Chain A
Amino acid sequence: MSTTDLPTPVLRGAAPAHAPAGTGHLRGTRSFPAEARDALQDTQLRRNLGKATGVIRAKRQAVVDEVPDWEELRLAGSAIKADVMARLPELLEQLEANVVARGGTVHWARDAEEANATVLRLVREAGADEVVKVKSMATQETGLNEALEAGGVAALETDLAELIVQLGHDRPSHILVPAIHRNRAEIREIFLREMPDVDPDLTDEPRRLAMAARAHLRRKFLSAKVAVSGANFAVADSGTLSVVESEGNGRMCLTLPETLITVMGVEKVVPTWFDLEVFLQLLPRSSTGERMNPYTSTWTGVTPGDGPQAFHLVLMDNGRSGVLADPDGRAALHCIRCSACLNVCPVYERAGGHAYGSVYPGPIGAVLSPLLTGISGEDDPNASLPYASSLCGACFDACPVRIDIPNLLVQQRAASVESHRRPTGQDVAMRAARVAMTSPGRFTAAEKAMSLGRVLGGRSGRITALPWPASRWTASRDVPAPPKETAREWFARTRPGQER
């Protein structure tokens, strides 16, 4: 009798899960400090980013200021999302029932690999070897393009910024403007090199570049049989899906092909149609700084005579159940991917999106990525992300659904520390401090040693490199040189004869 084929207990499979490693783009290969140090050397990148985030910040503030009930909208958005998390399984079942009732098909995916495999199978069943894609964070997260490519299907990004990234064999660096790190001259070079029919006299004027992209994609739109999209919102009580965009590439993909496949993270569901009245106000003003984005499309299942006649919805977990199981961390799932927190973050503005490794950069990425993947240990690049912040609080003020990102960063720092087995530099320093501070004699000796620091500081009064283990501190920041006089010396000098 075999003893190895015991059935897996049902409950084990039902435990909340992190996104498995190996598929998709939720984790880089190097830590944030290592990536950021390299990025900071790139003056072009810093110039492009500084200009872009400054422009978006100003636009956003202007349109937010003209809404008298902005705080009430934020409070409603936050409460709707909290309610969604509390009823997520039921809302998804309701969404599924309504999509199916209107002629759509719903698929479920435990993780990125299963989502990719499902899309590949559906594309093959539709008889296509090419798909047009609407910009989507979910499919960036799963690495769908690479998975389709490996399966013999060409995936064509149709959002201008995504196209620039794809043709540049590059990675997106911002949630809303993935090519924010590129300037017009660089984009012209990419187009001249990668677009077969492009006009060789192409200038770097943005209008000319946009028209080159239009010409490049036009035939593809008109002939594509299958499109793949993400979803900004899915309405449980009607089965309605929604995509918010600007260029019309989204409308092209959602309308013209015979088959539409939409991949969404399970957290994107909202309970009712009327909840969209909150998010359709919060999202455009927070993301592009416009009163409303040029195009929003909504569709429900299949409508005879209009749009794709086959509609597939892929509902994906990929670590979200793991985040949901964390009482504090689940608020990170409230994120509507507006990118307002990126544009106000002093760390993002200098380091750029690539430094975060994951497709989710900036403050929200610094909490969402480690929450989705879990932290495997000290060497996990995502363990460094919660430290990629000055905790200045600007991200919380900008967040349209009031995610307390600074608080989540602190929680994730604690989680990251707990995952470390070996003592860190901070542990070593604190242990040394305890030795010095528990004896007056030792403390005086330590104070004497500190005056040595003034020599290290030199004329600038800044110490840029200390020997190991303190080098781990000075690798990413300067230390002010110690003062000439310690507090106890000052006290002795100014109050002679008094008890210390």
Chain B
Amino acid sequence: MSAREEVLARLRTARDAGAPRTPLGDVPRDYRRRGEHDPGSEGALVQLVERVEDYRATVTRVAGPDDVATVVARLLEDASSVVVPSGMDRAWLAAAGVRVLVDGEPDVLDVAALDAVDAVVTGAAVAVAETGTLVLDAAAPDQGRRALTLVPDHHVCVVRAADVVGTVPEALARLDPVHPLTFVSGPSATSDIELDRVEGVHGPRRLDVVLVG
């Protein structure tokens, strides 16, 4: 018998032998699917700002797309080079005085090149107000493959107000599970030494969020 057949046969036998004495009911789904704030509402945005800042990341709110470039330029003051996914809105970088590398077919950067870049700018698929979480979808043109937001030490993430939802269930409902996804809540951090939180171990040590609208 192959390992596959044997493990499955064992589990079938076990499942029947250990069947609970009372039959299972349906899964109770009485938990909240929606939060107290509607997606994109002022309440959701205020909560997102508070929760992201709690992770010691910064959030800058701007009124519209035209203001993004100014803020991004200021956030990238210390950087000499930045990488962006090929589908990102290049207007966001219009005011930044840095060398811009574009990653995407056919010009895919190797790991050494990524490691030499100071910062990365991307969009986000959805953000969760209650947990301060940004979700990056690798299939989205303005978010790029997963390595892009991992290797550079500074991540600037531009989030549209309409993409801010209240809860984790609302976020998952907007995502496609077969795309590679990265849920980001603050910068890289560890608490492994006497539970002292230290920001920045292997992922970006600095996370800045620009909230538009």
**A residues at B contact (CB < 8 Å):** 10, 13-17, 48, 51-52, 55-56, 68-69, 72-73, 75-76, 79-80, 82-83, 85-89, 92-93, 102, 107-110, 114, 158-161, 164, 177, 179, 183-184, 187, 206-207, 209-210, 213-214, 217-218, 221-222, 235, 238-240, 246-249, 251-252, 254-256, 266, 273-274, 276-278, 280-281, 288, 290-301, 303, 305-307, 315, 317, 320-322, 324-327, 329-330
Chain B residues lying within 8 Å of A288, measured Cβ to Cβ, are 191
8 Å CB contact of A295 from B25, B112, B172, B184: B184
8 Å CB contact of B195 from A16, A56, A75: A56
Cα A300 to Cα B105 in complex, Å, equals 21
8 Å CB contact of B188 from A55, A68, A246: A246
Cα A280 to Cα B181 in complex, Å, equals 14
8 Å CB contact of B196 from A206, A277, A321: A206
Tally of contacts, chain A with chain B, CB under 8 A? 269
A324 touches B18 (CB 8 A): yes
B17 within 8 A of A: yes
Which residues from 103 to 147 on chain B have a C-beta closer than 8 Å to any C-beta of chain A?
105, 108, 111-112, 115, 128, 130-133, 138-139, 145-147
8 Å CB contact of B172 from A222, A274, A305, A315: A274
A79 touches B15 (CB 8 A): no
In the complex, what residue of chain B is closest to A109 when comparing beta carbons? Answer: B3
**B residues at A contact (CB < 8 Å):** 1-4, 6-15, 17-21, 24-32, 51, 54-55, 105, 108, 111-112, 115, 128, 130-133, 138-139, 145-147, 150-151, 168-169, 172-173, 177-196, 198, 200-204
8 Å CB contact of B13 from A52, A222, A299, A325: A325
Chain B residues lying within 8 Å of A83, measured Cβ to Cβ, are 24, 27
A55 touches B195 (CB 8 A): yes
Chain B residues lying within 8 Å of A82, measured Cβ to Cβ, are 20, 24
B24 touches A79 (CB 8 A): yes
B193 touches A210 (CB 8 A): yes
Min distance, Cβ A19 to any Cβ of chain B, angstroms: 12
Chain B residues lying within 8 Å of A210, measured Cβ to Cβ, are 190, 192-193, 198, 200-201
Among B51, B173, B186, B187, max chain A CB count under 10 A is at B186
Cα A294 to Cα B55 in complex, Å, equals 9
8 Å CB contact of B192 from A72, A177, A274, A324: A177
B193 touches A110 (CB 8 A): no
If A16-B17, A291-B185 touch, whether A51 touches B194 (CB-CB below 8 Å) is: yes
If A108-B4, A255-B147, A295-B183 touch, whether A248 touches B28 (CB-CB below 8 Å) is: no
Task: State the 5 A-B residue pairs at the shortest beta-carbon distance, nearest first.
Answer: A248-B203, A14-B9, A248-B202, A325-B14, A16-B14
Min distance, Cβ A260 to any Cβ of chain B, angstroms: 12
In the complex, what residue of chain A is closest to B111 when comparing beta carbons? Answer: A222
A89 touches B132 (CB 8 A): no
Chain A residues lying within 8 Å of B190, measured Cβ to Cβ, are 160, 210, 246-247
8 Å CB contact of A327 from B3, B18, B27, B139: B18
A324 touches B180 (CB 8 A): no
8 Å CB contact of A221 from B15, B191, B202: B202
If A82-B20, A206-B193, A307-B145 touch, whether A240 touches B178 (CB-CB below 8 Å) is: yes
Min distance, Cβ B152 to any Cβ of chain A, angstroms: 12
Cα A230 to Cα B190 in complex, Å, equals 19
In the complex, what residue of chain A is closest to B55 when comparing beta carbons? Answer: A294
If A14-B9, A79-B28, A306-B146 touch, whether A252 touches B202 (CB-CB below 8 Å) is: yes
Min distance, Cβ B148 to any Cβ of chain A, angstroms: 9
Chain B residues lying within 8 Å of A80, measured Cβ to Cβ, are 27
Cα A466 to Cα B169 in complex, Å, equals 59
A13 touches B6 (CB 8 A): yes
If A76-B31, A82-B20, A292-B133 touch, whether A246 touches B194 (CB-CB below 8 Å) is: no
A85 touches B15 (CB 8 A): yes
Min distance, Cβ B196 to any Cβ of chain A, angstroms: 4
Chain A residues lying within 8 Å of B132, measured Cβ to Cβ, are 291-292
In the complex, what residue of chain B is closest to A285 when comparing beta carbons? Answer: B131
Provide 28 A-B residue pairs closer than 8 Å at the C-beta atoms, listed in order of the A residue: A72-B32, A79-B26, A102-B178, A108-B2, A114-B3, A177-B191, A179-B193, A210-B190, A210-B193, A222-B115, A246-B201, A248-B204, A252-B150, A274-B173, A277-B172, A278-B31, A292-B185, A293-B185, A294-B184, A297-B181, A298-B180, A306-B145, A307-B138, A307-B147, A317-B10, A321-B7, A325-B18, A329-B18
Chain A residues lying within 8 Å of B200, measured Cβ to Cβ, are 210, 214
If A164-B192, A256-B111 touch, whether A217 touches B202 (CB-CB below 8 Å) is: yes
Among B11, B115, B128, B179, max chain A CB count under 10 A is at B11
Chain A residues lying within 8 Å of B20, measured Cβ to Cβ, are 82, 86, 327
Cα A159 to Cα B193 in complex, Å, equals 12
Chain B residues lying within 8 Å of A235, measured Cβ to Cβ, are 177
B184 touches A277 (CB 8 A): no
Chain A residues lying within 8 Å of B146, measured Cβ to Cβ, are 251, 254-255, 297, 306-307
In the complex, what residue of chain A is closest to B149 when comparing beta carbons? Answer: A251
B203 touches A184 (CB 8 A): no
B180 touches A306 (CB 8 A): yes
Cα A194 to Cα B137 in complex, Å, equals 39
Cα A14 to Cα B11 in complex, Å, equals 8
Cα A129 to Cα B133 in complex, Å, equals 37
